[in-house]
Structure 1
Amino acid sequence: MKADFADWFACPPATVPGEGKLLCFPAAASGPRTYRGWSAALGPRIEVRPVRLPGRETRLRERGYTSFPPLIDSLAAAVGPPDGRPLALFGHSLGALVAFELAHRLHRDEHTVIRLVVAASPPPHSAETPTAVPPGPAELLRHLRALGTIPRSVFGDPDALRLILPSAAADFALAGSYAYERRTPLRCPILVLGGRQDDHVTLSTLALWESETTARCTVRLLPGDHSFPDQSAHHVLRELATTLGADLDAFAADRSSLG
């Protein structure tokens, strides 16, 4: 698999080098297009870089990952060594587990991770983490409809479905492969976002994320169901702009105090 940052992390329109990078990890079967307007909305301080996993867009011919360890190895290699700028990670649903595991790896690799943001996801130690979906197009489609993270128009487009189903199958196999490893909690703060109408992940489950960090864990509920990052993107972006702006200010102050 490729290990180049530009292959793995898309560069949406209006993206400029910022004070920090926000790496974004979408829900199962989704891709970088989900974050198309985020760079303009978050402003020049934050460089938005959504992941482009195998099986999406320019990587359609590549086979998707079905196991976490090699995926995290590849992502860490693509991010590369620290460049002095802090990193924040955003993950939606399955993407939250990927972001969580990568945050641990980046800490180990001596990157400065200033924030983990997880949306519509139970914590990794919860019994409610995603499970594998039985193989077969009909079951995959049923599960995708239930999650609501794919636009409804796609289900009536056979050509679009042919493109999505292989990556969806890989993503759900990836989810089913997840094995939680108990270790020292993250040092970065966690912002947990949930949808008020989400039937898949409850407020009490979201609150359990607090055990995964030694820093502050904040839970916010926003309008929408499991796909609220798409339905209520302006609410999500407002939370991110406020939170990451404060994180970057704190990072700059800490670096200044060190001389």
Structure 2
Amino acid sequence: MTDDPELWLRRYHEADEGAVRLFCLPHAGGSASFYFPMSAGLGRAVEVLAVQYPGRQDRRLEPGIDSLPALADRLTEVLAERTREPFALFGHSMGATLAFEVAARLERTGVTPLHLFASGRRAPSCRRDESVHLLDDDGVIAEVRRLGGTNAAVLGDEEILRMALPAIRNDYKAAETYVRQPGPKLATPITVLTGDADPKTTLDEARAWEGLTDGEFELKVFRGGHFFLADHQPEVLRLISARLAGTLSGHH
């Protein structure tokens, strides 16, 4: 492997021995630190490993990967080393599509995640014609502002936002050029979390995830837009904890 797996994963808090691993994949333009509050809130029973994509924060000097399948390939290699223990995947927005692709790759090698949490994203089988990545800088910034997000400080700071633009544009290209390839359904159970006013995902598009798994499926709808997670943190954490505790007891 060319680069160090340690570059890809951030562990912000200690976890108990035997804790379930939860790999958390950020949204387009997002970074591992988006999941710091989730890592803090889930406590020691879950070991949160947040993914840091190349091209941002402490990896900003590395070239970004602007193809979702290529990013999934790399990430699967990185995670493969760490999937001997029970683990689950959580992805928000682009990260949810990426988590699906990683789960599919892992299943092809005989490794099945305990659970896939897909947040704020239409099913990979639902295609929309989007081309934000082709807009000029102001256009991309306008789209990021439209979706909101937890980090109002960054949105208000033009300079920081412009520094983050290459990563944002890179990820939008990856997400917008993605086309799901036909393949078998997952065996992994899927929980979909969506905001009832998310401009990026309708309820039908969220429900369409059900057709992608032979495992259990549930859809949880929260009040809010694309970044509903920030407003419903306690509820989301309880849901994750309950699902992981339930799968573990059935796993042994």
What is the TM-score normalised by the length of structure 1? 0.90
The residue type equivalent to 1:176 in the other structure is E
Equivalent residue number for residue 145 of structure 2: 145
Q: Deviations over 1:1-47 (max 9, x none)?
A: 85433211111133455432111111111111111132332232321
Moved more, 196-205 or 101-110: 196-205
**Offset at 1:150?**
5.5
Equivalent residue number for residue 77 of structure 2: 77
Question: Against the structure 1 CA distance between its residues 83 and 134, is the aligned structure 2 distance closer, same or farther, given a 3 Å change threshold?
Answer: closer
CA contact (8 A) 1:85 1:112 kept: no
Unaligned stretches of 5+ residues in structure 1: 253-259
Secondary structure at 1:114's aligned position in 2?
Answer: coil
The residue type equivalent to 1:152 in the other structure is A
Equivalent residue number for residue 214 of structure 2: 214
Equivalent residue number for residue 247 of structure 1: 247
Structure 2 CA distance, aligned partners of 1:196 and 1:131? Answer: 24
Moved more, 217-226 or 35-44: 35-44
The residue type equivalent to 2:167 in the other structure is S
Q: Deviations over 1:146-167 (max 9, x none)?
A: 2223523323313311321110
CA RMSD in angstroms, aligned pairs only? 2.0
Equivalent residue number for residue 168 of structure 1: 168
The residue type equivalent to 2:146 in the other structure is A
CA contact (8 A) 2:89 2:117 kept: yes
The residue type equivalent to 1:41 in the other structure is G
Equivalent residue number for residue 107 of structure 1: 107
CA contact (8 A) 2:119 2:193 kept: yes
Q: Deviations over 1:221-252 (max 9, x none)?
A: 12321101123222211111111111111112
Equivalent residue number for residue 37 of structure 1: 37
CA contact (8 A) 2:22 2:90 kept: yes
Counterparts of residues 90-105 of structure 1 (less than 5 Å): 90-105=90-105
Secondary structure at 1:23's aligned position in 2?
Answer: strand
Secondary structure at 1:49's aligned position in 2?
Answer: strand
Structure 1 CA distance, aligned partners of 2:181 and 2:37? Answer: 35
Equivalent residue number for residue 190 of structure 2: 190
Question: Against the structure 1 CA distance between its residues 226 and 28, is the aligned structure 2 distance closer, same or farther, given a 3 Å change threshold?
Answer: same
Secondary structure at 2:246's aligned position in 1?
Answer: helix
CA contact (8 A) 2:119 2:194 kept: yes
Equivalent residue number for residue 28 of structure 1: 28
Structure 2 CA distance, aligned partners of 1:175 and 1:110? Answer: 27
Question: Against the structure 1 CA distance between its residues 138 and 196, is the aligned structure 2 distance closer, same or farther, given a 3 Å change threshold?
Answer: same
The residue type equivalent to 1:180 in the other structure is R
Equivalent residue number for residue 128 of structure 1: 128
Equivalent residue number for residue 257 of structure 1: none
Unaligned stretches of 5+ residues in structure 2: none
Structure 2 CA distance, aligned partners of 1:220 and 1:187? Answer: 20
Question: Against the structure 1 CA distance between its residues 82 and 54, is the aligned structure 2 distance closer, same or farther, given a 3 Å change threshold?
Answer: closer
**Offset at 1:132?**
4.7
